[in-house]
Structure 1
Amino acid sequence: MKHTMTVAALAAMMWSGAQAGDQWGPYNAEFPAASDGLVKKVKQADIFASAVAGRVQPFALSGWFKPSEPAPGRTLIAGVAGAQAGPGWFVCSVDGAFGFCGYGLEVVSPLKLAPNAWVHLAASYDGRRVTLYANGSAIARQDAVLKAEGFTPAPIKESAQAAPVDDFAPRISMGPRSKAATGYAGRIAGFTVTATALDEGAVRAMAATQPNDALINFESGSPSWPIQVRQMYGQVAPQDPWTLPKSGSPFQEPKAKPAYSGPALVQKDANLWTIKSWKLQAAPEVSAKPEHISSTGFDAAGWYQTTTPGTVLTTLVDRGVYPDPDYGLNNMAIPESLNKQDYWYRTSFQPPAAFKQGQRLFVTFKGVNYEAEVWINGRKLGGMKGAFVRGTFDISPYLKLKGDNVIAVRVSPPPHPGLPQEESIAAGAGENGGTLAQDGPTFIASEGWDWIPSVRDRNTGLWQDVELHATRDFKLGDAQVITALPKADNSVADVSIEVPVSNLSKSAQRVTVRATISRRDGSMKPIQVSKTVGLAPGEHSVRFTPADFAALKLKNPKLWWPNGYGAPDLHELKLEAMQGTQLSDQASTRFGVRAVTYELSLVDQGGHLRRVEADFTKGRELGVRITDGRHQAIKKLSDNNWATGLRPEAEWTAAIRPLEETTLSPFLVIKVNGVRIAARGGNWGTEDWRKRIDRERLEPYFRLHRDANVNIIRNWVGQNTEESFFELADEYGLMVMNDFWASTQDYNLEPQDVNLFMENARDVVKRYRNHPSVIMWFGRNEGVPQPVLNEALEAMIYQLDGTRWYSGSSNRVNLQNSGPYNYQTPTSYFTEHAKGFSVEVGTPSFPTIEAIKAAVPSTDQWPLTDTVTYHDWHPDGNGSVKTFNAAMAAGYGAPDSLADFERKAQLLNYESHRAIFEGMNAGLWRQHSGRMLWMTQPAWPSTMWQILSHDYDTHGAFYGVKSAAEPVHVQMNLPDYQLMVINNPAAALNGATLSYAAYDVQGKLLASGDKPVAVAAVSTSEPIDAGIGALVAQHKLIVLKLALKDADGKLLSQNAYWPSSTLAGQQGLNQLATVPLELSTRWTGAAARGERQLEVTMRNGGEVPALSGKLTLFNADGERILPVYFSDNYVALMPGESRTVSVTFKSQGAVRLDLRGWNVAPQSLRIGAQ
Structure 2
Amino acid sequence: MRILKLLLPLVCLISFSAHAQQYELNKGWQCINIKKTKDYGEKISQPSYHLKGFMNATVPGTVLTNLLDNKMIPDPFYALNNEKIPDIYNTGSDYYTYWFVKDFNEKINKEGDQVWLHFRGINYSCDIFLNGHKLNEKRFYGMFLRQQYNITQWLAKDGKNRLAVIVYPPDPVGNPNGGQGGDGTIAKNVSHQYVAGWDWIQPIRDRNTGIWDKVTIEKTGAINIQNVHVITLVPGKRFIEGNQDPATIKVSAELLNAGNKTIAGDLQYELGGEKISTHISVAAGANVTASLPDFVLQNPKLWWPNGYGPQNLYNINVKFINDDAAAISDVEHIQFGVREINTNWNTVTRSREVLVNGQKIFIKGGNWIVSDEMLRLSGDRYDAEIRFHRDMNLNLIRVWGGALTERPEFYDACDKYGLLVMQDFWNSGDCNGRWLDPMKKEDQWTRRKYPDSHQLFLASVIDQVKMIRNHPSLALWCGGNEITPPEDILVAMRDSIIPQLDGTRYLIEYSNSDSMSYNPFGGNGDGPYQIQNINTFWEHQTFPFNSEVGSVGMGDYASLERFIPKENMIIPDFTSRKIDSVWRYHKYIGYDHYIDAYGKPKDVKDFADKAQLVNYDQYRALMEGFSAHMWEWYTGVIIWKTQNPWTALRGQMYDYYLDPNACLYGLHNGSEPFHVMYNPADGMVMIANNTFTSKHNIMLQVKMYDMNGKDSLLTQVFSEIEPTRSKKYLSVKPLLDKLVKDKGAFLYLSLSDENKRLLSDNLYWLPDSTGNYSGLQEMKKAIVNVRANEKAKGKVEVTVSNSKDNPVAFFNRLSLVNILTKKRILPTFYSDNYISVLPGEERKITIDYTPVANEKAAVELYGWNVDKQYIDIK
Q: Do Structure 1 and Structure 2 share a fold, with TM-score over 0.5?
A: yes
CA gap 1:827/1:339 in 2 versus in 1, 3 angstroms: farther
Alpha-carbon shift at residue 671 of structure 1 (Å): 0.8
User: Structure 2: how far apart are the matches of 1:494 and 1:895?
Assistant: 61
Equivalent of 1:343 in 98, 109, 126: 98
Q: Deviations over 1:221-241 (max 9, x none)?
A: xxxxxxxxxxxxxxxxxxxxx
What is the CA–CA distance in structure 1 between the aligned matches of 2:107 and 2:753, rounded to whole Å? Answer: 60
Measured after TM superposition, the shift of residue 940 of structure 1 is 1.1
Q: 1:834 to 1:357 in 2, by over 3 A?
A: farther
Q: What is the root-mean-square deviation in Å for CA atoms of aligned residues? A: 2.1
Q: 2:832 aligned with 1:1128, yes or no?
A: yes
**Which residue of 325, 330, 338 corresponds with 1:585?**
330
Residue 866 of structure 1, aligned match among 558, 567, 581? 581
Indicate the residue corresponding to 1:800 in structure 2. 501
Give a deviation string over 1:251-300, Cα, whole Å, max 9, x none: xxxxxxxxxxxxxxxx9854212112321111111111221011112211
Is residue 534 from structure 1 mapped to residue 281 from structure 2 by the alignment?
A: yes
Aligned to 2:844: 1140
Aligned to 1:892: 598
Indicate whether 1:973 and 2:729 are aligned. no
User: d(CA) in 2 for partners of 1:1031 and 1:349?
Assistant: 73
Matched, 1:288 2:3: no
Q: Secondary structure at the match of 1:910?
A: helix
CA distance 1:309–1:339, change in 2 (3 Å): farther
2:3 matched residue in structure 1: none
Q: CA offset at residue 941 of structure 1?
A: 1.7
Q: Deviations over 1:693-743 (max 9, x none)?
A: 111222211111111111100111142521211111111111000001101
Aligned with residue 1105 of structure 1, among 781, 800, 808: 808
The reply to whether residue 1008 of structure 1 matches residue 714 of structure 2 is yes
Work out which of the residue numbers 1023, 1035, 1047 in structure 1 matches 2:754: 1047
Q: CA deviation at 1:794?
A: 1.2
Q: Contact 1:368 / 1:387 at 8 angstroms: preserved in 2?
A: yes
2:645 to 935, 939, 947: 939
**2:18 & 2:490 partners in 1: Cα distance?**
38
For the residue of structure 1 that corresponds to 2:428, the secondary structure is: coil
Q: Is the 8 A contact 1:1001 1:1038 kept in 2?
A: yes
Structure 1 residues 377 and 915, CA, compared in 2 at 3 Å: closer, same or farther? same
SS of 1:443 mapped into structure 2: coil
8 Å contact from structure 2 (residues 112, 259) kept in 1: no
1:1095 to 781, 798, 802: 798
What is the Cα deviation at residue 1031 of structure 1?
1.7
Where does residue 458 of structure 1 map in the other structure? Answer: 207
C-alpha contact (below 8 Å) 2:235/2:358 kept by paired residues: no
Where do 5+ consecutive residues of structure 1 fail to align?
1-266, 423-429, 518-524, 547-551, 601-610, 612-661, 875-880
The alignment's TM-score, normalised by the length of structure 1, stands at 0.67
Question: 2:65 — aligned with what?
Answer: 314
2:641 and 2:110 map into 1 onto residues whose CA distance is 50
Asked if the contact 2:797/2:844 (under 8 Å) is kept, the reply is no
2:227 partner SS: coil
Alpha-carbon distance, 1:555 to partner: 0.9
Tell me, in whole angstroms, the C-alpha distance in 1 between the residues paired with 2:247 and 2:641.
35
1:746 is aligned with what amino acid?
R
In structure 2, C-alpha distance between the alignment counterparts of 1:1151 and 1:819, rounded to whole Å:
41
Q: Match of 1:572, SS?
A: strand
**Structure 1 residue 516, shift from structure 2 partner:** 2.7
For 1:8-27, list aligned pairs within 5 A. none
Shift of 1:1102: 4.5
Q: CA deviation at 1:954?
A: 1.1
In structure 1, the residue matched to 2:609 is 903
Larger radius of gyration: 1
Instruction: Specify the SS of the correspondent of 1:1083.
Output: strand
Report matched runs for 1:766-915 at 5 Å.
766-795=466-495, 796-813=497-514, 814-815=516-517, 817-864=525-572, 865-874=580-589, 881=590, 884-889=591-596, 891-915=597-621
Matched AA of 2:587: D
Q: Does 1:597 align with 2:342?
A: yes
Structure 1 residue aligned with 2:21: 271
CA distance in 2, matches of 1:451, 1:1126: 27
Separation (CA, whole Å) in 2 of partners of 1:703 and 1:403: 42
Superimposed CA distance per residue, residues 503-541 of structure 1 (whole angstroms, 9 cap, x where no aligned partner):
334443322111233xxxxxxx44321111223341212
**How many Å separate the matches in 2 of 1:1079 and 1:331?**
43
Residue aligned with 2:730, SS = coil
- For the Cα contact (< 8 Å) 2:783–2:806, is it kept in 1? no
User: 1:421·1:453 contact (CA, 8 Å) conserved in 2?
Assistant: no
Cα distance in 2 between the residues matched to 1:410 and 1:668 = 46
Q: Secondary structure at the match of 1:809?
A: coil
Distance 1:339 1:1113, change over 3 A: farther
CA distance in 2, matches of 1:469, 1:1151: 42
TM-score (norm: length of structure 2): 0.89
The question of whether the paired residues in 2 share the 8 Å contact of 1:1113 and 1:1153 is answered with yes
Cα offset for 1:1033?
A: 4.6
Q: Flag the 1:808–1:507 CA change in 2: closer, same or farther, 3 A.
A: same
Q: Is the Cα contact below 8 Å between 2:18 and 2:218 reproduced in 1? A: no
Q: Cα distance, 1:476 vs. partner?
A: 1.3
Give the number of the structure with larger relative contact order, counting CA–CA contacts within 8 Å between residues 6 or more apart. Answer: 2
The alpha carbon displacement at 1:1006 in A equals 4.2
Pick the aligned partner of 2:224 from 462, 475, 489: 475
1:746 aligns with 2:434: yes
Q: Check whether the contact 1:511–1:533 (CA below 8 A) recurs between aligned residues.
A: yes
Q: Secondary structure at the match of 1:1072?
A: coil
Q: 1:1134 to 1:393 in 2, by over 3 A?
A: same
What's the counterpart of residue 157 of structure 2?
A: 401
Conservation of the 8 A alpha-carbon contact between 1:570 and 1:591: yes
Q: 1:596 to 1:269 in 2, by over 3 A?
A: closer
- In structure 1, what is the Cα distance between the partners aligned to 2:434 and 2:670? 35
* Aligned equivalent of 1:441, options 190, 194, 203: 190
Tell whether 2:736 aligns with 1:736: no
Residue in 2 that maps onto 1:659: none
1:1032 aligns with 2:737: yes
- Identical residues among aligned pairs (%): 29
Q: Is 2:8 aligned against 1:302?
A: no
Instruction: Check the 8 A contact 1:440/1:742 in 2, yes or no.
Output: no
Contact 2:353 2:361 in 1 (8 A): yes
1:1115 paired with 2:818, answer yes
CA distance in structure 2 between the partners assigned to 1:268 and 1:794 by the alignment: 28
Instruction: Name the residue aligned to 1:544.
Output: 292
Task: Output the amino acid matched with 2:480.
Answer: R
Structure-1 residue corresponding to 2:624: 918
Deviation of 1:790 (Å) = 1.4
Q: CA deviation at 1:780?
A: 0.9
Amino acid at match of 1:541: T
Q: Is this contact kept in 2: 1:1077–1:1101, CA < 8 A?
A: no
3-state DSSP of counterpart to 2:817: strand
**1:91-490 paired onto structure 2 within 5 Å:** 270-277=20-27, 278-337=29-88, 340-341=93-94, 342-351=97-106, 355-382=109-136, 383-421=139-177, 431-489=180-238, 490=244
Selected match of 1:953 from 646, 655, 659:
659
Rounded Cα–Cα distance in structure 1 between residues aligned with 2:754 and 2:712: 27
Q: Tell me if structure 2 keeps the 8 A contact 1:1150–1:1166.
A: no
In 1, Cα distance between the equivalents of 2:801 and 2:656?
28
